[in-house]
Amino acid sequence: MKILIVSDTHGDNSNFYKVLKSVGKIDYLIHAGDIQGSSNEIINAADCPSYMVSGNNDFSFSLNKQELFSISGNTFLLVHGHKEGVYFGTDRLVYKAAELGANIVVYGHTHIPRVQYDEEYKIWIVNPGSLTYPRQAGHKPSYIILDINQEGTLEFNIYYLS
């Protein structure tokens, strides 16, 4: 199973279309917010079940600020991250995910890609970075592919557009 995880497209979907063309068929799309008016366009282009939340720049959307859902035996907590103070660390995210029974928390907001595993709480902490305004060294747009094999093993890979 192939899950595309993106965030912070900020209304410019050109790189999102490049990613879709590059990765081929996906089974799920997860978008961690700051979509800025193009949620329907993104959902239609992905052509698969999609999960999205609103970000701090999504002022007039009816998207929730938080989603809790399950895919293939994994429980995901999806937030943008601005309400959880992610610029100061991810402890609040981890506590919230643990409280809600999630083993994967996906967030955006920082525009910096990250995949980390919290050994104490047994929770994956995942940020795909930004497809539009990357902030990490090198400033390349980024996204994550989560592959879940038949045995249920999770493999997170960060990819960059050149």
Model confidence at 60, pLDDT cuts 50, 70, 90, reads low
- pLDDT confidence of residue 62: 83
Q: With a threshold of 0.85, does the pTM exceed it?
A: yes
pLDDT at 38 over 90: no
Query: Would you say residue 12 has pLDDT above 90?
Result: yes
The CA-CA-CA angle for residues 128, 30, 129, to 5°, reads: 15
Nearest CA to 3 among 31, 27, 23? Answer: 27
Better pLDDT: 37 or 155 = 155
